[in-house]
Amino acid sequence: MFKIKTMEFLNETIFRMVVEAPMVAHSCLPGQFVIVRSDEEGERIPLTICDYDREAGTVTIVVQVIGAGTTIMSRMKAGDCLADFVGPLGQPSDLVTDDLEEVKKKKIVFVAGGLGTAPVYPQVKWLKEHGVEADVIIGAKNKDILIMEEEFKSVAGNLYITTDDGSYGRSGMVTKCLEDLVTQEGKVYDHCVTIGPMIMMKFVCQLTERLGIHTIVSMNPIMVDGTGMCGACRCSVEGKTKFACVDGPEFDGHKVNWDEAMRRSGMYRDSEAKAKEALK
């Protein structure tokens, strides 16, 4: 059992948990994920690691309430225990594992949308701790659902907030912000990491391909076992089948078959909606 140290809502649908998981905390790196079950009969939910503290033996996850499994998790409190907290799974970010001196030569921008803001944080934090500054663009539909702004202020080289409705920061989507920075404000980037909804990542990749910026995405397809055995998380990258759980979750965004990935991500929406309704 894995004790929940703290539990807080960041907005109406997104909450943050700090969980006691010493073995995971000892081994994880930015870019990796865990699979969590709230109880013995619960759904297996893949969640990217948002932060970790090796000394305290804790791992931080940020979760959006979408289906029945995340609804059950959202009702838990500090002091409760999760049945399973398996990880670290997947491959760490290339920015963490590549030669540090080569990484320092890159001009890096992170583009985060919605819940994707959380898994961007540990990468930017790790880079900052190792002497590498990266710019960060965070997008949200409006100010009320923006998360983790204060955390990013301490780790980002430059932080750009943009909202679809213009209620806070810049007005417009993350793609407009990135394009404006490059084409109108003189920013130069050669490496982009974008994490968020698939449709957002697809359009960021279309833009960065046109701008000539190498782009990495973090794929979040349907996942069951997280070990490459079930094949549920397969996606096509450069015409080859890859498994997000063991080959990823990060891939070259310009080589992902986005149309296929988005079709697969919607396969179980009806079943998920029915399960959530039954939970009420």
With CA atoms as reference, report the closest residue to 217 among 238, 192, 242, 199.
Answer: 192
Name the pLDDT band for 276 (thresholds 50, 70, 90). Answer: low
Residue-level pLDDT at 270? 61
pLDDT at 248: 78
CA-nearest of 68, 72, 105, 67 to 4 is 72
The predicted structure's pLDDT at residue 246: 85
Q: Which residues contact 36 (CB under 8 A, 6 or more apart)?
A: 44, 45, 47, 61, 73, 82, 84, 85, 86
**Residue 279: what pLDDT?**
64
168-194 tens-digit pLDDT: 989 999 999 999 999 999 999 999 999
Region 48-61 average pLDDT: 95
Return the pLDDT at 231: 73
**CA separation for the pair 48, 75 (Å, rounded):** 20
> Does residue 275 surpass a pLDDT of 60?
no
Classify residue 35 as exposed, middle or buried by CB count within 10 Å of its CB (0-12, 13-18, 19+).
Answer: buried
Walk me through the domains of the chain, giving residue ranges and CATH numbers: 2-89 (2.40.30.10), 94-212 (3.40.50.80), 219-265 (2.10.240)
pLDDT at 25 exceeding the cut of 60:
yes
How much is the pLDDT for 58? 97
Mean of pLDDT values over 157-162: 95
CB 274 within 8 A of CB 232: no
- Give dist(CA 50, CA 28) in Å, integer: 11
Q: Please give the single-letter amino acid code of residue 141.
A: K
